[in-house]
């Protein structure tokens, strides 16, 4: 050991970096290496040291040398241990308590989580997902654990294509499905691929999520705002703007206003895109949750050649999974996949395989159908509670999704409602407060009704209804 490199890795159940540049003699070097590790906070209190036999073997010294070093350090109070049990860094070592490091950062915890767009995490189908994961992993060939296809695992693309054709009316085959980590990545990739093809101006609905505008700008585009009225995005304002190379919108349910894009505007937009060569980016973030009317068919099903359709598992399963998908026009696949290849950012293969199995076994459909019923019931309960609120309260965007909109008279009222809600532990967003508008906008409260666990839902509804009763005239 004395002739070895100044630093050595010792592995024996635990991986340990020891700096052997100090101390004299083998035993002295080990002692000083361990003291230094504790002093310099690499080893916190309670950290396990390697067994003496294993450390001796790793360092190529006799076990007696290691034992002598450990005995000395026990006597000095750096480490503690008894024959037969693990040797650990002593609590009184003066080193630092691992808890200081391990404590997770404080998260804002709401008593009632009514923030928009979040599904109920307590309803995640843990058992079915585990079953799918186990089955998928058992059946996967070893090569599935390699780097894989840039577009995503073929099994998943194939299941997604089948699902999207059957349940959402898309015109899609596995080769134009790209697996992503969610809409956020889909939009990033599309924006970058558009820049690659020479596009510089991209229209986005206003109001819309500020992150989405930021993503488009970060790819170098100028954002052209597309205002929204009761029939959805006012796409006709694009007439004469053939320099707009793409339009990003939420036609199924405008976020956050909740209106659907009218049939006339759908036809107009697709016709304009066909003629101008622009790409329509369809964010179908919660299309699975439509309650009162039949699902509205996605734009992609009408005109697959000009629409990049983006879906996500963030609402149907959980945002933490980071799984989404794009169905892109064939002519757009090359720049899209090139951007994806450069940026990596693949969804994990185990999640991909599990989702494929989940779709194939019918568990996805069953889960969506169950949650659709549950969320519809919640929406009804919320509407009833709001109905007993201040007279004239206008509620919109109720036919679908995981949140609805309560229009408020002005910015001051929105601020008062938000402040009162938050002081009662309600997590909730405002239309103006959420930066959905860059220009002038109207005030409103976006009430998410999916996130609270079942047992807390009634109390959450009562809490927000009472805030509205107290604040709104």
Q: Which residues bind ligand PLP (CB under 6 A)?
A: 117, 182-184, 209, 250, 255, 283, 285, 312, 314, 319, 324
Q: Which is nearer to ligand PLP, 185 or 413 (CB)?
A: 185
Query: Least CB distance from residue 272 to ligand PLP, whole Å?
Result: 22
Q: How far apart are CA 234 and CA 237, in angstroms?
A: 6
Residue 107 C-beta: closest distance to ligand PLP, Å: 18
What single string gives the DSSP state of each residue in 191-227? Answer: HHHHHHTT--EEEEEES--HHHHHHHHHTTPEEEEEE
Closer residue to ligand PLP, CB minimum distance, 45 or 312: 312
Q: In whole angstroms, how close is the CB of 280 to ligand PLP at the nearest point?
A: 15
Angle at 196 between CA 191 and CA 199, to 5 degrees: 65
Provide, rounded to whole angstroms, the least separation between the CB of residue 259 and ligand PLP.
13
425: DSSP letter: T
Q: For residue 63, give both structure tokens.
A: 């076990």
Minimum Å distance from CB 324 to ligand PLP? Answer: 5
* Nearer of residues 284 and 414 to ligand PLP, judged by Cβ: 284
Cis peptide bond prior to 207, omega within 30° of 0: yes
**Please, which residue, 26 or 318, has the CB nearer to ligand PLP?**
318
- Which residues sit opposite 178 in a β-bridge? 326
Indicate the angle between helix axes 126-139 and 349-360, nearest 10 degrees: 110
Residue closest to ligand PLP, measured at CB: 182
**Of the two residues 45 and 250, which places its CB atom closer to ligand PLP in the complex?**
250
* C-alpha to C-alpha distance for 407 and 287, rounded to whole angstroms: 23
| Residue 50 token pair | 């390697």
Strands, E, within 215-274: which ranges?
Answer: 222-229, 232-233, 244-249
Q: In the bound complex, what is the minimum distance in angstroms from residue 223's beta carbon to ligand PLP?
A: 15
Sign of CA dihedral 105, 450, 364, 134: positive
Pick 10 or 215: Cβ nearer ligand PLP: 215
Q: Which is nearer to ligand PLP, 56 or 347 (CB)?
A: 347
We find the least distance from the C-beta atom of residue 311 to ligand PLP, in angstroms, to be: 8
Distances (CA, A) of 424 to 4, 69, 109, 112, 464: 63, 58, 12, 9, 9
């Amino acid at each position: 050991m004395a002739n070895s490199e100044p630093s050595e890795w010792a592995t024996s159940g635990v991986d340990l970096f020891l700096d052997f540049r100090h101390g004299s003699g083998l035993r002295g070097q080990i002692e000083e290496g361990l003291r230094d590790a504790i002093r310099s906070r690499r080893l916190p209190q309670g950290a396990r040291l390697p067994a003496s036999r294993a450390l001796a073997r790793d360092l190529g010294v006799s076990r007696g040398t290691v034992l002598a070093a450990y005995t000395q350090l026990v006597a000095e109070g750096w480490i503690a241990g008894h024959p037969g049990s693990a040797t650990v860094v002593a609590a009184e070592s003066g080193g630092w308590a691992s808890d200081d490091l391990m404590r997770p950062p404080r998260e804002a915890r709401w008593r009632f989580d009514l923030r928009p767009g979040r599904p109920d995490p307590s309803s995640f189908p843990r058992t079915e997902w585990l079953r799918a994961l186990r089955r998928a992993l058992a059946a996967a060939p070893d090569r599935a654990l390699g780097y894989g296809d840039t577009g995503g695992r073929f099994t998943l693309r194939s299941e997604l294509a089948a699902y999207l054709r059957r349940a959402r009316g898309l015109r899609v085959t596995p080769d134009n499905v790209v697996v992503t980590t969610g809409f956020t990545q889909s939009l990033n990739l599309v924006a970058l691929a558009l820049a690659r093809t020479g596009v510089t101006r991209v229209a986005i609905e206003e109001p819309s999520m500020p992150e989405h505008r930021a993503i488009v700008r970060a790819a170098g585009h100028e954002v052209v705002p597309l205002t929204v009225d009761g029939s959805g995005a006012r796409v006709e304002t694009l007439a004469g703007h053939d320099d707009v190379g793409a339009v990003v919108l939420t036609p199924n349910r405008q976020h956050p206003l909740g209106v659907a894009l009218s049939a006339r505007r759908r036809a107009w937009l697709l016709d304009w895109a066909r003629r101008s060569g622009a790409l329509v980016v369809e964010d179908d973030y919660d299309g699975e949750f439509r309650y009162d009317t039949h699902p509205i068919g996605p734009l992609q099903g009408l005109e697959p050649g000009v629409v990049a359709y983006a879906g996500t598992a963030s609402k149907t399963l959980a945002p933490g999974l980071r799984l989404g998908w794009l169905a892109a026009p064939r002519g757009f696949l090359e720049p899209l996949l090139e951007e994806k290849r450069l940026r990596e950012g693949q969804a994990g293969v185990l999640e991909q395989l599990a989702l494929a199995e989940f779709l194939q076994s019918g568990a996805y459909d069953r889960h969506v159908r169950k949650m659709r019923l549950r969320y519809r019931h919640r929406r009804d309960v919320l509407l009833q509670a709001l109905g007993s609120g201040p007279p004239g309260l206008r509620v919109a965007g109720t036919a679908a999704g995981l949140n609805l909109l309560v229009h408020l008279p002005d910015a001051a009222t929105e601020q008062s409602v938000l402040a009162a809600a938050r002081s009662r532990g309600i997590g909730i967003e405002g239309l103006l407060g959420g930066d959905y508008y860059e220009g002038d906008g109207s005030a409103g409260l976006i009430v998410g009704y999916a996130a609270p666990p079942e047992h807390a839902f009634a109390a959450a509804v009562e809490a927000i209804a009472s805030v509205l009763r107290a604040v709104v005239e």
